[in-house]
Amino acid sequence: MGIGKMLAATWRTLKLTRKSDREEFFLYMKLVFLGFGIVGVIGFIIYFIASEIELIAGVANANASGATPAILFHLLSGLL
């Protein structure tokens, strides 16, 4: 796709858009903040579980460097 075709397609898309009214804008803002909140809660839960696992692993094996919460976070986040 050439630059000219891309600009033409972009212009056609922009001509179809319209400005949201106040009510619609606030609805979208509520949905965005709800999404941020959900992602934040999921991240907190994963971090909390990882830190508890580290605590349990640290008690079971005091000399083991073990998995840190950051490593467990990356491992657990792949499961979602």
**What does the pLDDT look like over 11-52, one tens digit per residue?**
999 989 888 899 999 999 999 999 999 999 999 999 888 888
By CB neighbour count within 10 A (0-12 exposed, 13-18 middle, 19+ buried), where does 76 fall? middle
Residue 62 has pLDDT above 50, yes or no: no
Backbone dihedral angles phi then psi of residue 57, each to the nearest 5 degrees: -65, -35
Residue 50: predicted pLDDT? 84
